[in-house]
Amino acid sequence: MAEVRPDEVSAILRQQLSNFKSAAELEEVGTVLQVGDGVARIYGLSHAQSGELIEFENGLQALVLNLEEDNVGAVMLGDYGDIKEGATVRRTNKIAAIQVGEGLWAAW
């Protein structure tokens, strides 16, 4: 039987615990109430921000534009034919942005 060395065990435990994340990561998830004309009404995203990107379970993204008391309105950014009432949506915590450079000024 192999001899157990406490210093080796301690070193292994320290290494494994150094990557431990103690903070819980919560994800705000909502449910589609209605879809039509490229806009989805979503319940449950009470902390969503105007201009925030949200993502549906199939990977399609949408842009939050309308903040109501009990739902948000989001414009779909792609083919939304698969998005139905009851679909799950999650916040990305990212505000939509476009990088601007010299090319934009040259276009004007």
Q: What is the pLDDT of residues 11-65, one digit of tens each?
A: 888 888 887 777 666 789 999 999 999 999 999 999 999 999 999 999 999 999 9
Please give the pLDDT value at position 14.
87
> How many Cβ atoms from other residues are within 10 Å of residue 74's Cβ?
27
pTM, entire model = 0.71
Q: Which residues pair with 53 in a beta bridge?
A: 63, 94
* CB of 84 closer than 8 Å to CB of 34: no
